[in-house]
Structure 1
């Protein structure tokens, strides 16, 4: 049977340090915590989570709440939930998935991870009794983790300018939410820095709507145009419409999406996109919430992870 001493020896630290990592992770550095966690994983050491929960009057349950329609974002959430589960498992926490608002306050979880929240949900989140961390930018004062949306679209726009596309058009999502404001800001700021005029069109996040938009305005788009889209879903619709109207991708038209989880790979041609590190985001948000729980609800702030520009068949080399 693996003991605390075995973990300490493997990680080359004291038993006291191992105990702190298990019981008070906020008291050790990230580097030290990862060292001990790696040793625990390698030795398959499992702390007595039931005893720990009893001692601290906890349930060792975290509710992951999805406040939007999963139907249009299912592959995205599969990756996110896997990352959250991986992060929670390191501290022997169970994940309870909630998709109905009426179930939000049932039970007695140690904390909440909220996804898909909108500005109108702020009052609901503030009423929760346990610590809350939000997945996605917010301006209501909640701790959050997200992709650096502004930086991601900036990358795409700078690439388009460097490749000498004559017209660079942004296809946005028609929501008044922080993540969309940030994505649009990344586009607008970069265009203005290069003395270029921004052109933005917004619609709901459905591929058939972006496809319809391009079809209806096809004659307005000259060759050497690139469409930078706020989601891969919108980008897929743009690609379909360009091909339907006889446009040549990537010679005459370019398309860049945002997400990089699933749709970018099934698109034909495969979609250039801003890839979010979704699984890693899930692990980080789990870690942030567990640290907040350990610190009795203390404010954690925000963390923005940098996305990656992935170039495939819908942009020129």
Structure 2
């Protein structure tokens, strides 16, 4: 069986250095950490994280806390959760799913991943006594991982322009939250750079609400209009009502969604959308949370991953 001494010999460092790389990676340089990790890979050495947890008085359990109703968000959170679990598995961590905010601190855990947070929740987070990270950008200074929402809508808007749509309308989500502000900013800034005037409608994140807007204003929409939507759910409603009104997609009207998890594929025609790297974001969240636990709650900052544009049948 490969031992700590074997790894130290392979990396040409001391046993103490190997131990620090495993237990306190923040105390060694990145170059030294890579050297030891390469030796561990070469020798197929796997640290006993359960033993480490006992030594460090940890549970090796974290909580995945969702403050949204996951019954109505398609596989979005399930995909995030799988990525999170994959990241935790690297350090032999388990997670507990919490859907009731009042039970966040019940039972033992080393830290929390909090999803679906809104501005009204921030005051409560300041009272938590364990390390936590957020899924979703915020302006409060909390550590978080998200996709680059502004860049995503910038890509969508630029693509619509490249497909020669002359009128671009933004269908936003009616919430005063950082992610929505960023998506609107991506659309607005791109139009202003092209000397075009923004036109924005905001609805709750439900397809039937988007349908109401299209039905009410359809006669005012000109041909060669593309709807840039803040979610796939809104985009599905736009597509559905445009077809009911007899509009020609994508010849006369285009629609671009945002998320790229499930609805974009079941829509008919399938949605052009901005796809978030949700599985990857889950892994990054696990890495950030575990590192924060290792570093006794030290700030980790923010990670913004780049979304991609997926071209399908609702744009020409």
Q: What is the TM-score with the length of structure 2 in the denominator?
A: 0.92
State the alpha-carbon separation in 2 of the partners of residues 264 and 42 from structure 1.
42
Q: What is the TM-score with the length of structure 1 in the denominator?
A: 0.92
Q: 2:122 maps to what in 1?
A: 122
Deviation at 1:21, TM superposition (A): 3.7
Secondary structure at the counterpart of residue 59 of structure 1: coil
State the alpha-carbon separation in 2 of the partners of residues 43 and 265 from structure 1.
44
1:1-317 aligned within 5 A: 1-4=1-4, 18-27=18-27, 46-316=46-316
State the alpha-carbon separation in 2 of the partners of residues 260 and 186 from structure 1.
18
* Contact 2:143–2:301 (CA under 8 A) maintained in structure 1: yes
Secondary structure at the counterpart of residue 74 of structure 1: coil
Alpha carbons of structure 1 residues 265 and 68: separation in structure 2 relative to 1, 3 Å: same
Task: Note the residue ranges of structure 1 that are not aligned, 5 or more in a row.
Answer: none
Deviation at 1:31, TM superposition (A): 7.9
Alpha carbons of structure 1 residues 127 and 269: separation in structure 2 relative to 1, 3 Å: same
State the alpha-carbon separation in 2 of the partners of residues 35 and 210 from structure 1.
54
Alpha carbons of structure 1 residues 100 and 156: separation in structure 2 relative to 1, 3 Å: same
Deviation at 1:48, TM superposition (A): 2.4
State the alpha-carbon separation in 2 of the partners of residues 38 and 133 from structure 1.
29
Deviation at 1:223, TM superposition (A): 1.2
Deviation at 1:2, TM superposition (A): 4.8
State the alpha-carbon separation in 1 of the partners of residues 218 and 303 from structure 2.
40
- Of the structure 1 ranges 262-271 and 5-14, higher mean CA displacement relative to structure 2 is found in 5-14
State the alpha-carbon separation in 1 of the partners of residues 38 and 263 from structure 2.
33
Deviation at 1:53, TM superposition (A): 1.0
State the alpha-carbon separation in 1 of the partners of residues 301 and 281 from structure 2.
15
Deviation at 1:16, TM superposition (A): 5.4
Deviation at 1:225, TM superposition (A): 0.6
Task: Note the residue ranges of structure 2 that are not aligned, 5 or more in a row.
Answer: none
* Contact 1:135–1:146 (CA under 8 A) maintained in structure 2: yes
- Provide the aligned length of Structure 1 versus Structure 2: 316
Deviation at 1:236, TM superposition (A): 0.8
State the alpha-carbon separation in 2 of the partners of residues 274 and 267 from structure 1.
15
Alpha carbons of structure 1 residues 266 and 23: separation in structure 2 relative to 1, 3 Å: same
* Contact 1:22–1:91 (CA under 8 A) maintained in structure 2: no
Secondary structure at the counterpart of residue 303 of structure 1: strand
* Contact 1:63–1:96 (CA under 8 A) maintained in structure 2: yes
Per-residue CA deviations over 1:89-113 (Å, capped at 9, x if unaligned) read 1111111110011211101211111
Alpha carbons of structure 1 residues 32 and 93: separation in structure 2 relative to 1, 3 Å: farther
Deviation at 1:13, TM superposition (A): 8.0
* Contact 1:37–1:90 (CA under 8 A) maintained in structure 2: no
Deviation at 1:215, TM superposition (A): 1.7
State the alpha-carbon separation in 2 of the partners of residues 95 and 29 from structure 1.
30
Per-residue CA deviations over 1:179-221 (Å, capped at 9, x if unaligned) read 0000001111111111100000001000111122212221111
State the alpha-carbon separation in 1 of the partners of residues 156 and 264 from structure 2.
15
Deviation at 1:74, TM superposition (A): 3.4
Deviation at 1:18, TM superposition (A): 4.7
Deviation at 1:43, TM superposition (A): 7.5
State the alpha-carbon separation in 2 of the partners of residues 290 and 133 from structure 1.
10
State the alpha-carbon separation in 2 of the partners of residues 39 and 252 from structure 1.
60
State the alpha-carbon separation in 2 of the partners of residues 95 and 259 from structure 1.
25
